[in-house]
Structure 1
Amino acid sequence: MTPIAYKLVDGREWQAARADGVYCGSVLDRADGFIHLSTAEQLPGTASKHYAGREDLRLVEVDLTALADILRWEPSRGGDLFPHIYGDLPMTAVGTVRGLAIDSTGTPRFADGSTIWPAEGAP
């Protein structure tokens, strides 16, 4: 399993999480009882399925090694194992955070103009 995963988060939610020092998950995460994450390879599918057409998002890099006690790999879309956090995401497990929008085709538009996902070589 990979040591890094990603979470797409609404910009306002991320600002509140930073102020609180912990991310408690989106409305969907809380309803499901865990925080949904994606590996770099899963990220494009997650973005196009759940975030297409969204503005003011943050791509949050998560260090999974810091979450050993609350992390589970569970089957989801297509039977792939996805990382799920059963608890809150502490800021100590957060790496790079990048602002972006995802167009209607699921393509990310980062603030620096790039459209490359982490799976394609850019953090």
Structure 2
Amino acid sequence: MSNEFVYHVVTATDWARWQDKPTYEAGSLASEGFIHLSTEEQVAGVLERYYQGVPDLLLVQIDPARLTHELKYDVSTNNDRFPHLYGPLNKDAVVSVATIR
């Protein structure tokens, strides 16, 4: 895989809970063992499938080269390969955080 950025969709409230910490953990890390990420091309479909009508969303842009935990591309929805982070997101891998809507 090339060093393209990967993305994580999160509510502003959830992201703010981790603001004073060096890492971020999505709820899926505890329940599924990884944090759901997307490629740039996958973000629109993820928003459409899982976040319709959800306010205050953020798009976290992540540099995979800076991650301290394993990033794997697993077959998921529609047999598409989605990036999953198997551990907390170290925030020094975050390139930007943008408001979605």
- C-alpha distance in 2, partners of 1:28/1:93? 19
5+ unaligned residues in a row in structure 1: which ranges?
102-123
Q: How many corresponding residue pairs?
A: 100
Q: Which residue identity does 1:37 align to in structure 2?
A: L
Hey, what's the Cα distance between the residues in 1 that align with 2:21 and 2:45?
30
**In the alignment, does 2:23 pair up with 1:22?**
yes
Question: SS of the counterpart of 1:46?
Answer: helix
- Who is 1:31 aligned against? 31
- Give runs of ≥4 in structure 1 deviating > 6 Å: none
Q: Which residue of structure 1 aligns with residue 41 of structure 2?
A: 41
Give the structure-2-normalised TM-score. 0.89
Structure 1 contact 18–91 (Cα < 8 Å) conserved: no
**CA 1:20–1:69 in 2, change beyond 3 Å: closer, same or farther?**
closer
Q: Which one has more relative contact order, counting CA pairs under 8 Å at least 6 apart?
A: 2
TM-score, length of structure 1 as denominator length: 0.75
1:1-123 alignment, distance < 5 Å: 1-2=1-2, 3-25=4-26, 27-67=27-67, 69-101=69-101
Instruction: Indicate the percent of aligned positions where both proteins have the same amino acid.
Output: 35
CA shift digits 1:8-67 (9 cap, x unpaired): 111111112221121111x23431110000001111110000111111111100111112
CA 1:33/1:72 → structure 2, altered by over 3 Å: closer, same or farther?
same
CA RMSD of aligned residues (A): 1.5
Question: Per the alignment, do residues 68 and 78 of structure 1 end up closer, same or farther by CA in structure 2, a change over 3 Å counting?
Answer: farther
Task: Report the CA distance between 1:69 and its aligned residue.
Answer: 4.5
